[in-house]
Amino acid sequence: MIDLINSTARKIPEWPLYIVGFIPAAWLLWLGVNGGLGVEPVKALEHELGLLALQLLIATLLVTPLRRYAGVNLLKFRRPLGLLGFGYIVLHLLTWLALDMAFLWGQAIEDIVERPYITIGMAAFLLLLPLALTSTKKSIRRLGQKWTKLHRLSYVAVVLGGLHFVMQEKVWSVEAILYLLAAIGVVAMRMLWLKRRRVAG
């Protein structure tokens, strides 16, 4: 089964993932325009876009553990997944700025400073920004090992994203807590492997 998954993955190009990956965003926008997101469509849109971003970031960090511990090689999809995750974060942020804040920059800055969950969410975005800006193959080759170290910012960002998801709810749900635990768990797996490699080296 693993060999079948790996051989199939090798045959699938990366570019369709970018198209398929943004279909949920288009669907959510269509629902919002046509009254399919409930009585608070802006809040629902923000929530769903943020959740998709968190799911994609967790999936991105799961790619390497899947290869190391299960032999499933999906490394070629790691960058598209990461960029899609960042894209959904940008959509989540723009929805908040444009539809919730109406581009009232003073109020938006005040909320970032005074509301911890927004502060944490913005911190996660800023940590991922340099990764997105240096995600081209040319940049990765030029930075070399420095890019690998820079990539570790994603560990902090995904945990902050999980924390942001939990804190934005007035009552913490089981779903939100599970996502936070998943974020912490996938980062812990990565850190454990790095520690073992340093000891072995």
What's the mean pLDDT in 169-190? 90
What is the DSSP-derived secondary structure letter of residue 200?
A: H
**Tens-digit pLDDT profile for residues 106-119:** 999 999 999 999 99
- Which are the contacts of 181, defined by CB distance < 8 A and separation ≥ 6? 162
Residues 40, 44, 47, 49: is their CA dihedral positive or negative? negative
pLDDT tier at 184, thresholds 50, 70, 90: very high
**Tens-digit pLDDT profile for residues 119-146:** 999 999 999 999 999 888 888 788 777 8
> pLDDT at position 56, please?
96
- DSSP code per residue over 165-176: HHHTSSS--HHH
Q: Where are the alpha helices (DSSP H) in the chain?
A: 2-11, 15-21, 23-33, 41-65, 78-95, 105-114, 116-133, 137-143, 145-151, 153-167, 174-200
pLDDT tier at 198, thresholds 50, 70, 90: low
Helix (H) or strand (E) holding 42: helix 41-65
> pLDDT at position 201, please?
54
Q: Say what the pTM is.
A: 0.92
CA–CA separation, 14 and 26 (whole Å): 20
pLDDT tier at 5, thresholds 50, 70, 90: confident
- The answer to whether 158 and 184 have CB atoms below 8 angstroms apart is no
> pLDDT at position 141, please?
83
**Tens-digit pLDDT profile for residues 77-101:** 999 999 999 999 999 999 999 999 9
Mean pLDDT of all residues belonging to the chain? 89
> Which is nearest to 150 in space by CA: 51, 82, 80, 76?
82
**Tens-digit pLDDT profile for residues 147-157:** 878 888 899 99
What's the mean pLDDT in 173-187? 93
